[in-house]
Structure 1
């Protein structure tokens, strides 16, 4: 019997396939005890209502249900699959009758014949058995189920026929065998002996049917009626188990019998074989070219599904046509005024048409264009390809003669035009300078490490410098799209240092970036390239008019923000910039914003974009960034949408994708941390200090804390009280640097009127966004539980992900569950927030390869312990460690002291902030004062 269990809860069965609604609508008169998983991950027994079905009813039900319907429970779909498999074995004749005694009578039951194939089938079913069925009896239950359903399924396929013969009558009607007149024992023995001989005659595994397609032979003199096109022979073969296929001959009657039966089934699977002529001397079929093409394209799958193998000729190639582009370019004249720059660089090119690996000659192209056939013979091979596409490609090649002269912009316009090449462009070969641009055999010329660079470039960073210099010399804009943490900043600074050492006087570079990284650029430039003259243009007191023009004239690098660029665009447009660089260029992914329009309006000889995420959600974002670097390269937004975005994003058009890659790849340098050529160059751990500016609100609160501390120190002479005042001020200043709401403890929102109240939180948001865009995970550490209670809900709402917060108030079991959830694949929590004390030791969180310290601890050892939650045995990726601090504040000066003095960097654990309390009033004022560059807009 089949037991079908159901819950007591009411169900809505509308729309379920028949006959399931009728089954589930019955009254469940039985109850069974089953073992199911419980909420704690263990197993428990429960009793549920159930319906018992006789084997015949169960078989009928299962065979009527659609196994692919997702509304069916998984275990029921499995049973449907088993029942259908039994029916296929019955239809193949791989079943036999067997005598057995039940209720004092002899019965004949159908069962599977057995053999290697059926045993393999049962083994596969056993391996795929759902957990509930496995616990309900496992393989033995499967064997019993197959045995019970085979008999009613076979009888159903026999269609209710009957016979006067007692044995056949019993087989067909499911009735017992009448007792033989010569005695039951002797009669049963005779019947069983005869059945055994029958079973033995079927026990040998039946050979497989193999259809072998044989190319036309002129000696056969077999042609399609009314044409000279020769017919293809479809040879009928049998393949015994473990042997090669052999053609069926008239001299083998048994083989003919088996082959005819199997060929009939093949024709049921692929009916077009019924309409073709056969060889008068055998079973082979003779196929016209149209049937051959359809057989290979469609019939092969239908035949394979019915167990028939199709063999193609050895010289048969199925290939798609493609275009290849050969480009040549003259030498670049770098130091003259006569050279063309940018997209006006001169070059020549020619197209080649290929089918698979065969590059066609002009004669072959002309012949293919005339024939427009889907199956042609080329150089001794039968090649199957789209004849219509071949004809279009041949016409396209003919329209672009060998050696066509053009410009780089003109060539790229061919690939982005409204009538692009009709087949994919899968290879571009090149010579001259364009070879380095298009990824050919040559590389950009080596660039010596600038003397003014205080850094050792890693090999991939050196390659980045050479690429940037090459693109700059050609006047071509580009996107440096290295992963976050691979050093885009130092590569750009190295480029500036190289240009000034090579040429002396160079027009200044304008760098536009988010406010949160302005201080970082200023300090990185001072550290890596101290010889560069850097001016920061932001803040309410920024220069304008003649004052701005004068300071720019004396600067190598001018750093400003996107917001300031939008406000001061008219002034910036009047300045002679050598280069405009966008950092975190995803800020201009929407070309319609005021900031995007402003930076595009600023003229410069060279343009660069720096971003770790050139595409976050849509291809339009890549177009927008590339349009800044090389205006017009990908056309207007409407043209790009029609020619690339819709075909690729909606239609998965591989041709459009190939063209887009061909056009964009020369202008994008992308290295990722998972690339072996990059990862081998990286250390096991990257540590960096990332700076944020205070908002005006934070700056006001910061000054208020300083004023209060100064007053309190002036009013106390008690050393212990003095230490208390200093420590309290330290804590309050840290809180101010984190967020006004953290300091005020008033429950006010993280942002107000759409603007961040904390520069640090804005920076955290940018970092997390980049990490999530790369599909990676991050740990955020804070020493303040209160700050974590602000950050966690804000990030959860901002990115739509779970952000667990592990702190001292989390129970042990909940803590362990947080860690398990974060570590498992497919976790819904790519971000985890931890308090430094509660989460800084004793945890293994290697699923994350980014660590961010939101607020600095005074003891580096404490931070290192927290970092080691991710940077430990079991971590397979490089770990990026970021330590956040606020520009011009106590945090920045403490960081300088910790990194600049060995005795402070090696402080023993537990010393913490005590040494600060021993400072004089003047030393404290210098340490805690608010710098002029602390506040951003």
Structure 2
């Protein structure tokens, strides 16, 4: 079985067992005795035995009880409403002047607060009747949801239902005609904090004062920080500030725009009431937050830059802490905390030794990296594919002083040659040493080679194998290209590169979040260790709320936290780049041949027959194997059968591909063809070269570095081959193939980030023609259905779109049947 499926199955069983163990001693008295059908049902839900036996009549009785409970819980066409009314100013006694010379006052709000009852339509909340009218003149109550036989009975029933959820309403229900409930300040606060959310969640109408939940109705903190360098200056490049550097600070406590001093806070704390009217506005006073505010005002001293950044950009998360409304600092730290550093900085010109011209946004990127370096902080250069991350880095390297020390650049093996070529082109004076291959330098020769170089290139696999030797060098800078290679923080190569000592760290990636937020944590842990806290707390504070619950506020907080250290510009932003040609993406539906359809149905029928008698890991493995076989059939029967049979006329995708290539070659243009299956790529190469009488290049994981570089050079030359077949994993990143202006995804990886990376081999700076991207999908098959699911989720906020197909294994048999079954019209006539 797949490791992921095995772990998921084990976690399911362990979680269920833990929950049942925790609930084993729950008192079931409220649900019924264990010898009743309700008691047996509750025991099966919570105890070690997961089933129970009951007669048909008893089960029908259980069903009736559950239906009645659900109707009672959900309510009907009308619902009770609850409106909280605060005391009028003249009703509040004992005004307390905090500062006699100041006209501002703090007024204790002991009451009377009042909850007013009413009745409203569940479908049209605007149709509302006060409880007083219901009791005094029921005949005048308008039709809230069709004619009501008895508005009074409906109101009583609704109030009774609400009372079970919020028992403090029971006091009002002891009267014959309840119209409302009077409360003191503590009772009103309990209703605002606890009762109103419960009632609202249950479907009742709840109307609260407009000031509630406004930030100005709560105390907050402002932090003023001062760096140890003079304002307006930047620390020396060799020193920097760093996340561990100390800054002086002092706190202020504020209500909205107004600052409160220690005396005012102490007076508020002495009132011992949760709600007061302060300076003409209602304010919630939490004793723990008041105490926290007093501690802050009485504290001053120093904290680290990392703590300052966390306080200033992530806000306080603990309920007993004051939310941080603002953090200000002087000098470069102030610029960092202000946000949009890249746009505030003056664009930086590359040094004379850089042989090239940077675009304006690239000069801003250079200034941003130099700025972070001056502070001793790391960053993630996450510009969109093709915006020239390489030249920005080379300009930064060229600006290093002669005695700065070497830069180590770690990249995939496929990119070593590209870095060598680009360095020779843009920074010919840069001394480059490649630490790779079986004959790479070791021991003293390695040390000599490193100290004689300005830029050392190595690969992730070598970095993991030679971790001790590389960690013995005091690197000026460590750069990770295609940094998504360390998205799994626990891998050997991720741990190896994080252990490398360096004064400055840069991670380079076009996809900082490929599948999950843990990717971002791992990359940021390299760039700025400790900034996002431990992995476990990051998961609890950010990953779970954002990925599972779509928490927009938490996502915004994470963006603020990482924003100063992540620079991402998009090709689609005309303010960044205006001369990049258009990219046209289209989904091309291909019909199956009769042979493909017959094989497809046979595979589905076989799976559905076998899945009925399988479960757990066996079921998951069967579903994944079926998915692979169906995708192979959609490509070509010969890929599934592996019989070496002829290809022409047997695949709708192949027929459509030939039609497209006819047009491409007739126009004198070039095309990239991506497939996730290396074996199918080899089949395409042989067939297409014979079909068109031309050489077809084929790049896959088994191609060595020298041959790979030769292929790229030949394809990029005007008279080179016009068709390039690439396996998605081997050719999807790091290559510049702008000679092509057609991209065809013959089969789908179903991860938008991976597909975009592959497309951007052609759609990048240097491309002068409009790029046409075609994504093949077999009509009526699982390919079309999953493609639609992915399209529905393809927005940046949902950056986690599962990189594989494990989610399909969790579908029910009925859902699998619907997903896999071949639709009518899928076969070509």
Note the C-alpha offset of 1:395.
4.1
Which residue does 1:561 correspond to in 2?
A: 459
1:447 Cα offset (Å): 0.4
User: CA offsets per residue over residues 523-574 of structure 1, 9 Å max, x none?
Assistant: 2323444443322121223334554455444433111123333444555455
Does structure 1 conserve the Cα–Cα contact (< 8 Å) formed by 2:233 and 2:331? no
Match of 2:364 in 1: 463
2:201 and 2:532 map into 1 onto residues whose CA distance is 45
Q: Distance in 1 between matches of 2:135 and 2:310?
A: 68
1:382 equivalenced with 2:282 (yes/no) = yes
Structure 1 residue 645 and structure 2 residue 534: aligned?
no
Q: What aligned pairs does 1:858-877 form with structure 2 within 5 A after superposition? A: none
SS in 1 for 2:243: helix
Deviation at 1:580, TM superposition (A): 1.8
How far apart are 1:290 and its partner, in Å? 3.7
Partner of residue 229, structure 1: 110
Displacement of 1:347: 3.5
Which residue of 2 is the match for residue 710 of structure 1? none
1:216 corresponds to which residue?
87
Cα deviation, residue 839, structure 1: 7.5
Distance 2:629 2:294 in 1: 53
The number of residue pairs the alignment matches comes to 577
Q: 1:806 and 2:635 equivalent?
A: yes
Q: Distance in 2 between matches of 1:529 and 1:467?
A: 20
For residue 267 of structure 1, give the secondary structure of its aligned residue in structure 2. Answer: helix
Write the distance in 2 (CA, Å) between the matches of 1:341 and 1:282. 66
Q: Which of the pair has the greater relative contact order for Cα pairs under 8 Å at 6+ separation?
A: 2
**Which residue does 2:421 correspond to in 1?**
523
Pick aligned residue for 1:899 from 703, 709, 716: 716
Deviations 1:722-763 (A, max 9, x none): xxxxxxxxxxxxxxxxxxxxxxxxxxxxxxxxxxxxxxxxxx
Q: What is the alpha-carbon distance in structure 1 between the residues aligned to residue 120 and residue 711 of structure 2?
A: 81
Question: Does the CA-based 8 Å contact 1:324-1:428 persist in structure 2?
Answer: yes
Cα distance in structure 2, aligned partners of 1:882 and 1:365: 70
Match for 1:408 among 305, 309, 313? 305
Greater shift in the superposed pair: 515-524 or 423-432: 423-432
State the Cα distance separating 1:383 from its structure 2 match. Answer: 3.5
> Can you list the C-alpha shifts for 1:230-281, whole angstroms capped at 9, x where unaligned?
2223445688998886784799645799875555344313333341499999
Could you tell me which of 272, 275, 282 is aligned with 2:171? 275
SS at match of 2:373: helix
Alignment check: 8 A CA contact 1:588 1:624 kept: yes
CA contact (8 A) 2:512 2:523 kept: yes
Structure 1 residues 249 and 428: CA distance shift in structure 2, 3 A? same
Asked if structure 2 preserves the Cα contact closer than 8 Å seen for 1:324 and 1:353, the reply is: yes
In the aligned structure 1, how far is the partner of 2:424 from the partner of 2:655?
A: 33
Q: Does 1:343 align with 2:243?
A: yes
Please give the residue correspondences for 1:152-191 in structure 2 after superposition, counting only pairs within 5 Å: none
Name 1:8's counterpart in structure 2: none
Give 2:407's aligned residue: 509
Change (3 A) 1:539 1:423: same
String of CA shifts for 1:475-509, please: whole Å, max 9, x gaps. 22223234555443232122113x15xx4664321
The unaligned stretches of length 5 or more in structure 1 are 1-13, 26-59, 69-79, 93-207, 688-775, 780-792, 820-832, 844-848, 867-880, 910-937
Cα gap change, 1:410 to 1:268, in 2 (>3 Å): closer
Q: Match of 1:538, SS?
A: coil
**Match of 1:539, SS?**
coil
**Aligned partner of 2:432 among 527, 530, 534:** 534
1:484–1:884 CA distance, 2 compared to 1 (3 A):
farther
On the 8 A contact 1:279/1:285 being kept in 2, the answer is no
Question: What secondary structure is seen at the aligned counterpart in 2 of 1:467?
Answer: helix
Structure 2 unaligned blocks of 5 or more: 1-48, 95-107, 142-149, 590-620, 640-646, 665-670, 693-697, 725-829
SS at match of 2:503: strand
Give, in angstroms, the shift of residue 376 of structure 1: 2.9
Classify the secondary structure of the residue corresponding to 1:489. helix
Match runs of 1:625-704 below 5 Å? 625-631=523-529, 633=531, 640-641=534-535, 643-649=537-543, 664-671=562-569, 683-685=581-583
Q: How does 1:763-802 map to 2 (within 5 A)?
A: none
Q: After superposition, give the CA deviation of every residue in 1:5-41 in whole Å (9 maximum; x if it has no partner).
A: xxxxxxxxx999999956999xxxxxxxxxxxxxxxx
Residues 617, 564 of structure 1: CA spacing in aligned structure 2 closer, same or farther, 3 A cutoff? same
CA offsets, 1:791-836, max 9 Å, x none? xx9xx88x999754624859999956xx8xxxxxxxxxxxxx9996
After TM superposition, give the deviation of residue 472 of structure 1 in Å: 1.7
d(CA) in 1 for partners of 2:561, 2:629:
35
SS of 1:438's partner is helix
Counterparts of 1:660 and 1:461, CA distance in 2: 25
Deviation of residue 433 (structure 1)? Answer: 0.6
Query: Retained in 1: the 8 A contact 2:637–2:651?
Result: no
Q: Is the 8 A contact 2:414 2:708 kept in 1?
A: no
Show the counterpart of 1:293.
189
Q: TM-score, normalised by structure 2?
A: 0.54
Please tell me whether the aligned partners of residues 471 and 477 of structure 1 are also in contact (alpha carbons under 8 angstroms): yes
From the superposition, tell whether residues 800 and 280 of structure 1 become closer, same or farther in structure 2 (CA, over 3 Å).
same
CA pair 615-365 structure 1, distance change in 2 beyond 3 A: farther
- Aligned-pair Cα RMSD in Å: 6.0
How far apart, in 2, do the equivalents of 1:890 and 1:493 lie? 25
1:435 match: 334
Distance change (3 Å), C-alpha of 1:332 and 1:382: closer
SS at match of 1:476: coil
CA contact (8 A) 2:505 2:527 kept: yes
CA distance in structure 2 between the aligned counterparts of 1:418 and 1:373, rounded to whole angstroms = 23
Give CA-to-partner distance per residue, 1:296-339, whole Å, 9 cap, x none. Answer: 44544676689864443455555566544444443465586996
The aligned residue for residue 190 of structure 1 is none
Q: Is the 8 A contact 1:478 1:630 kept in 2?
A: yes
3-state SS of paired residue (1:216): coil
**1:374-433 CA distance string (max 9 Å, x none):** 333233232447x245235424523533xx444425645879999988355465444421
State the SS of the aligned residue for 2:334: helix
CA contact (8 A) 1:418 1:643 kept: no
Aligned to 2:110, the other structure's residue is in SS state coil
Q: Take 2:127 and 2:492, find their aligned partners in 1: how far apart are those partners?
A: 74
